Amino acid sequence: MMRHLISAADLTRDDAVLILDTAEEMARVADRPIKKLPTLRGRTICNLFFEDSTRTRISFEAAEKRLSADVINFAAKGSSVSKGESLKDTAQTLEAMGVDAVVIRHGASGAPYRLATSGWIDAPVINAGDGTHQHPTQALLDAFTMRRRLVGRDAGLGQDLAGKRITLVGDVLHSRVARSNVDLLHTLGAEVTLVAPPTLVPVGVETWPCEVSYDIDRVLPKSDAVMMLRVQRERMNAAFFPTEREYSRRYGLDGDRMAKMPEHAIVMHPGPMVRGMEITAEVADSDRCTVIEQVANGVSIRMAVLYLLLGGNDSAATAPSTTRTEESK
Amino acid sequence: MSKILIRGAQVLGGEVQDVLIDGETIAEVGTGLSAEGATVIEAQGQVLLPGLVDLHTHLREPGREDSETVLTGTRAAASGGYTAVFAMANTHPVADTAGVVEQVWRLGKESGYCDVQPIGAVTVGLEGKKLAELGAMHDSAAGVTVFSDDGKCVDDAVIMRRALEYVKAFGGVVAQHAQEPRLTEGAQMNEGIVSAELGLGGWPAVAEESIIARDVLLAEHVGSRVHICHLSTAGSVEIVRWAKSRGIDVTAEVTPHHLLLTDELVRSYNPVYKVNPPLRTEKDVLALREALADGTIDIVATDHAPHPHEDKDCEWAAAAMGMVGLETALSVVQQTMVETGLLDWAGVADRMSFAPARIGRATGHGRPVSAGEPANLTLVDPAYRGVVDPADFASRSRNTPYEGRELPGRVTHTILRGRATVVDGKLA
């Protein structure tokens, strides 16, 4: 395994499949009466959250605690700059207190990469979402959910998502979830289509390993999974689309549209959902929607990532760390 | 002041000649000149240029003396072969009154390393709303002829039109920082393939090109001259080329970094590559080089922008925009223009001395290397190869994108009005 997890693009197919398989093992822990492994006992992990986040922070914290790590939560609302202390000073302060790994969420794209490569600290860095860049554990938990539903829990072990047709709908421009998913799903052999109004597709998307469509109705019948991305209402004021209602009509997923999907196809959402905007309550509450499963799977994936990066107590038995993260960027 | 004999230099990269300086003036250019009573500089294999002139320098004083002062900035300029620099107006307070420009001008006189010609702000506080007292700055001891809100665009078309018209009365020129503000809200890097991947806010080429197009048409309409700062895109080149072919009185500059570096470097998220306008693509770089060679772009200007370490030792979004450039400019031009065969040394003399002095009306600078002219000269060893080490800089700041990079050429001597400011590559 690599030393840091910064971008889904840094994962090879085999890395990704190993994480998914390990997450299946971790998921079994959740079925036990005592949901705890001793793997990271005596190790300290800091959740360094410069941006508001409830579900991702709690998911990491649950994963860390299930692996018996000591957890420090550092929440700095707003940016490091507005607090007057730099990211560098904050990270170095924490490392001086004996932190073995840093999980970072930051509003600035590239902040986790800077933390991992600037020589500020030595600890492994796990990106829990940076600006509009990457959110690799989200992409991994999404892939895990897809593999379970579309390939099978046991049948999926060792497998990737070859040939699966995955559609992402919504604000691609501002979405780190979209970027991470495009990278990882491509690595896992899936065929990805992005659907969005042209204003919410980045200039430069042409080099991404995916298709782009402006018409959701043409894509839905050919999708094995449809992931709806959150659209923030404030985008409306920046003229990305005329009104919330028009967006909802043209790009929202309602019951009629869901009926156009193949029977086996699932509906996904990274949360939090804006019901009535990109997704109707009917769809969100249907049994084709995997939102709650994704949350549960998130804990398993984060346990797997922490386990593989930190190597547990018997780290000597694992493969030597590489610096591929740095070299491949 | 004594005599200096520069022996055996290739003048403007051409004929090998001796140059005798007496006092502040070039006394004689020829062969086999007598060294009697003169300090001799053996210049075999070296190229003698007129002292370089930078139309776009940020000296940061007054206000940000932690990043640069007039003294440290002019020492950096001398090290880079410059004998005159134009100091941008975005200081604190802004150089928008006769008082501030005279202060900068006086500090330049005191430094003694390089002539400092202050640039005046076009609008009060660089706010783009109200014209600054342009005439008062021109009439002051600083004698300002170049006006710029650089760092910000004069985006109001009426204010830009009035400024272009007004400065005609005293032969002034407006130097425009072409950046349409609405199109670049939250911009962090060039908008394109790399920004899409990195998730950094895009600075589209059209935000520069649309302002240049508007301003050349305004200049034509009111019969003024206009200068375009740090032109950075292939599209801008096309617009300036078209404007010149129409007879519009427009001049343009390109920075050394836009001649060499591309937005691919931003993949490192290292803010040392964060600059405004941003690093563009390979296609833009090649178009800029070609335009500088064919004269569409008139000059190289450094946009030397010092920043303290903490403003670059951080995440990309929090970092300041800008790079130091005075001490590496000539080397980058040698690598990108001379060694590629696009420009000879006479061309370099034009783009880095004659033309910028002409645009900025810098008297005594950008003159031919011949008898009777002011002895403002730069001697370059083009065979030198060295790795850039920011610790060697005379500038107070170290934010160079070239650290660890091998660049050709070295300024061995800089002479300002007959006095050596740099001797054997070291500040005198």
Whether residue A202 lies within 8 A of chain B, CB to CB, comes out as yes
In total, how many domains does chain A have?
Answer: 2
User: What gap in Å lies between CA A190 and CA A274, rounded to an integer?
Assistant: 27
Contact with chain B for residue A328, Cβ under 8 A: no
**Residue A327 placed within a domain:** no
Question: Do A193 and A114 lie in a common domain?
Answer: no
Mutate to test the interface with A, among B263, B266, B269 (most CBs of A within 10 A): B269
Q: How far apart are CA B96 and CA B147, in angstroms?
A: 9
Taking the C-alpha atoms of residue B78 and residue B415, their distance in angstroms, rounded to an integer, is 9
Based on the domain organization, do A256 and A302 belong to the same domain?
no
Strands lying side by side in the sheet with A101-106: A70-75, A44-49, A101-106, A125-130
pLDDT reading at A318 higher than 90: no
Rg over alpha carbons for chain B, rounded to the nearest Å, is 20
Domain annotation covers residue A241: yes
Which tokens sit at B323? 């790079």
| pLDDT at residue A317 is higher than 80 | no
Q: Within a domain: residue A324?
A: no
A36 and A105 fall within a common domain? yes
Which H helix or E strand runs over B18? strand B16-22
pLDDT digits (tens), chain B, 428 positions: 589 999 999 999 999 999 999 999 999 999 999 999 999 999 999 999 999 999 999 999 999 999 999 999 999 999 999 999 999 999 999 999 999 999 999 999 999 999 999 999 999 999 999 999 999 999 999 999 999 999 999 999 999 999 999 999 999 999 999 999 999 999 999 999 999 999 999 999 999 999 999 999 999 999 999 999 999 999 999 999 999 999 999 999 999 999 999 999 999 999 999 999 999 999 999 999 999 999 999 999 999 999 999 999 999 999 999 999 999 999 999 999 999 999 999 999 999 999 999 999 999 999 999 999 999 999 999 999 999 999 999 999 999 999 999 999 999 999 999 999 999 999 99
Same domain, A277 and A152: yes
The mean per-residue pLDDT over the stretch A94-99 comes to: 89
Question: Which of A109, A130, A229 has the highest number of chain B CBs within 10 A, making it the mutation to test binding with B?
Answer: A109
Is-contact A179 B197, C-beta < 8 A? yes
The Cα A152–Cα A144 span in angstroms is 10
Q: B115 catalytic, yes or no?
A: no
User: Is A134–B199 a contact, with Cβ atoms under 8 angstroms apart?
Assistant: yes
In a domain, A1, yes or no: no
The answer to whether residue A179 neighbours chain B at the CB level (below 8 Å) is yes
Q: Which residues in B lie closer than 8 A to residue A79 (C-beta atoms)? A: 317-318
A-B C-beta contacts closer than 8 Å: 88
Which runs of consecutive H residues, i.e. helices, occur in chain A?
13-30, 55-66, 80-83, 87-96, 111-117, 136-150, 176-187, 216-219, 244-251, 255-258, 281-284, 291-310, 324-328
**Chain A residue with the nearest C-alpha to that of B269:** A110
Name the minimum distance, in Å, from the CA of A203 to any CA of chain B.
6
Q: Is B90 annotated as a binding residue?
A: yes
**ipTM value:** 0.89
Residue A203 in contact with partner chain B when CB distance is under 8 A:
yes
Do A115 and A145 sit in the same domain of this protein? no
- Shared domain for A235 and A144, answered yes or no, is yes
Q: Using the predicted structure, report yes or no on whether residue A316 has a pLDDT greater than 50.
A: no
Quick one: A252 and A306 in the same domain?
no
Active-site residue identified among B22, B284, B303, B350: B303
CA A177 distance to own-chain centroid: 6
Task: Judge whether A322 lies within some domain.
Answer: no
Structure tokens at A260: 């156009």
- What are the DSSP calls for B142-193, one per residue? T---EE--TTS----HHHHHHHHHHGGGGT-EEEE----TGGGTT--EESSH
Q: What is the pLDDT of residues A236-274, one digit of tens each?
A: 778 999 999 999 999 999 999 999 999 999 999 999 999
A163 and A98 in a single domain? The answer is no
Tokens of A246: 């028009």
Together in a domain, A189 and A114: no
Domain of residue A223: give its range: 136-291
Asked if pLDDT for residue A54 goes beyond 90, the answer is no
Domains of chain B, earliest start first: 3-47+373-427 (2.30.40.10), 51-360 (3.20.20.140)
| Distance in angstroms (rounded) separating the CA atoms of residues A29 and A36 | 7
Chain A positions touching B198 (Cβ under 8 A) are 109-110, 133
Per-residue pLDDT band at A1 (split at 50, 70, 90) = low
Task: Give the per-residue pLDDT at A236.
Answer: 73
pLDDT at B161: 98
Residues A198 and A111 in one domain: no
Residues A110-117 have a mean pLDDT of 95
Q: Determine if residue B303 is labeled as part of a ligand binding site.
A: yes
Q: For residue B200, give how far its alpha carbon lies from the nearest alpha carbon of chain A (Å).
A: 6
Question: Nearest-CA residue of chain B relative to A201?
Answer: B196
Q: How far is CA B306 from the centre of its chain?
A: 13
Residue pLDDT, tens place only, A131-190: 999 999 999 999 999 999 999 999 999 999 999 999 999 999 999 999 999 999 999 999
Q: DSSP letters of B99-129?
A: HHHHHHHHHHHHH-SSEEEEPBPSBGGG-SS
Helical spans, DSSP H, in B345-416: 345-349, 355-360
What is residue A123's predicted lDDT score, i.e. its pLDDT? 93
Q: Which of B267, B310, B316 sits opposite A108 (nearest CB)?
A: B316
- Judged against a pLDDT cut of 60, whether residue A81 lies above it is answered with no
Per-residue model confidence (pLDDT) at position A311: 78
B310/A206 touch (CB, cutoff 8 Å), yes or no: no
Categorize the per-residue pLDDT at A76 as very low, low, confident or very high, splitting at 50, 70 and 90: confident
- Locus of tokens 């006769």: B98
Q: At what angle do helices A13-30 and A176-187 cross, to 10 degrees?
A: 110
Assigned domain for A326 exists: no
**What's A235's DSSP letter?**
G
* In the predicted structure, residue A84 carries a pLDDT above the cut 90: no
Chain A residues with CB under 8 Å of B314 CB are 80-81, 86-88, 114
Residue B178: name the closest of B145, B154, B202, B203 by CA. B154
User: Any idea what DSSP says for residue A263?
Assistant: T
Predicted confidence at residue A29, as pLDDT, reads: 87
CB neighbour list of residue A137: distance below 8 Å, 6 or more residues apart: A5, A56, A60, A126, A127, A128, A298, A301, A302, A305
Q: Answer yes or no: is A320 within a domain.
A: no
Q: Which residues of B touch A202 (CB under 8 A)?
A: 195-196, 202
Residues A192 and A236 in one domain: yes
Instruction: List chain B residues with CB under 8 Å of A91.
Output: none
* Interface touch B191/A134, C-beta < 8 Å: no
pLDDT, residue A83, reads 52
Regarding whether A247 and A301 lie in a shared domain, the answer is no
For residues B155 and B170, the answer to whether their CB atoms sit within 8 Å is no
Confidence at residue A80, expressed as pLDDT on a 0 to 100 scale: 47
Q: Do B318 and A81 touch (CB under 8 A)?
A: yes
pLDDT digits (tens, 9 = 90+) for A187-229: 999 999 999 999 999 999 999 999 999 999 999 999 999 999 9
Q: Would the CB atoms of B317 and A117 count as touching at under 8 Å?
A: no
Flag whether residue A127 sits within 8 Å of chain B, measured between CB atoms.
Answer: no
Does A160 reside within a domain? yes
Which of A108, A118, A206 comes nearest B318 by C-beta? A108
What is the CATH number for A214? 3.40.50.1370
